[in-house]
Amino acid sequence: MLTVDFERLGVRPGDRVLDVGCGAGRHAFEAYRRGADVVALDQNAAELDGVEAMFAAMADAGEAPAGASARTVVGDALDLEFADDTFDCVIASEVLEHIVEDEKAMWDLARVVKPGGKVAVSVPRWWPERVCWSLSDAYHEVEGGHVRIYRAVELVGKLSATGLRPVHRHHAHALHSPYWWLKCVARDEHPLVRLYHRLLVWDLMKRPWLTRTAERLLDPVLGKSVVIYLEKPDA
C-alpha cells in the first residue's frame, strides 16, 4: 500500500533514492522496482532485516531491473550520515509526526537531496487524526507514538523554511480513516474491527474497481494522510 504517488515523484532508473523511516519497506521496494539505487533507512534494525530479505528476494525473482541496487542502513532522521546533495529523491512517509525535533529532521532531508531533486513527505491528516486522539489516549501515548498533529499549512511552512519549494499535495487512504476510528473505540478482536481489516486486506490484494474508485473519490474529504511534494531549487 503506497502513500506516495511515484508517478508524481518521478523516480527513474538510476536515480538515488533515500527512504527515511522506511519501516517495512513499502516505498523502498517500489523505488527498487523502478530501477533506482535505493537506501532504506530506519532506526529499527530488526525490521530492516526483513527489508533486506525482501530486497534479496526481489533480485532473485527479477523484480528489479538490471543495474538497480538496494541496501538498508540503521540510522536516525535527525542525523543523516550522508553528504550534502546526495540523493535525487528523498521520501519520509508517516515519520515526522513521531519526531519531537521535526524541523531539525526537515533540514536534514533538504540537505541530502540534490539541487533539482524531489522530496515527498506524508503525515496523518489533521482532522482524521484529531478524531483518533479524541477517541483514544492510547492511540498516541504509546512509546514511539505520534507527538503532534499537523495542519497541512503548518507542514508546508516548515518544509518551505528549509529552502524546499512545494509543488503539489494530495490526500490518501480514505478507506483507512474509519478503520482507525473503529480501532480507537474497540479492541482488535472486535468483530467489526476484524471484518474491516479483512476488507482492507482484500482491497490491497485485489484492488477491485469499486473500492479503488470509492477511495479516489473520498480521498479529498476523508483521506487519512496528506502527502506533500517538494523540489530543491537549483543552486
Residue range 38-53: mean pLDDT, rounded? 98
- Which CATH number does the domain housing residue 15 bear? 3.40.50.150
Q: Which amino acid is at 135?
A: L
Does residue 27 sit within a domain?
yes
Q: What is the pLDDT of residues 53-100, one digit of tens each?
A: 999 999 999 999 999 999 999 999 999 999 999 999 999 999 999 999
Q: Is residue 192 part of a domain?
A: no
pLDDT tens digits along 168-190: 999 999 999 999 999 999 988 89
The reply to whether 205 falls in a domain is no
Measured in degrees and rounded to the nearest 5, phi and psi for residue 136 equal -155, 120
Q: How much is the pLDDT for 187?
A: 83
What pLDDT band is residue 235 in, cutting at 50, 70 and 90?
confident
User: What do you get for the CA distance between the two ends of the chain, in Å?
Assistant: 35
Distances (CA, A) of 50 to 37, 57, 69, 179: 18, 10, 16, 26
Is 114 domain-assigned? yes
The pLDDT assigned to 188 comes to 86
Percent of the chain predicted with pLDDT > 90: 96
The conformation of residue 136, written as its DSSP 8-state character, comes to -
At residue 15, what are phi and psi to the nearest 5 degrees? Answer: -65, 145
What pLDDT sits at residue 143?
86
Grid cell listed for 82:
550522508
Q: What is the pLDDT of residue 45?
A: 97
Asked if residue 130 is part of any domain, the answer here is no
Q: How many domains does the chain have?
A: 1
Is residue 16 one of the residues assigned to a domain?
A: yes
In a domain, 67, yes or no: yes
Q: Which domain holds residue 95?
A: 6-124+143-173+223-231
In a domain, 85, yes or no: yes
Largest CA distance in the chain: 56
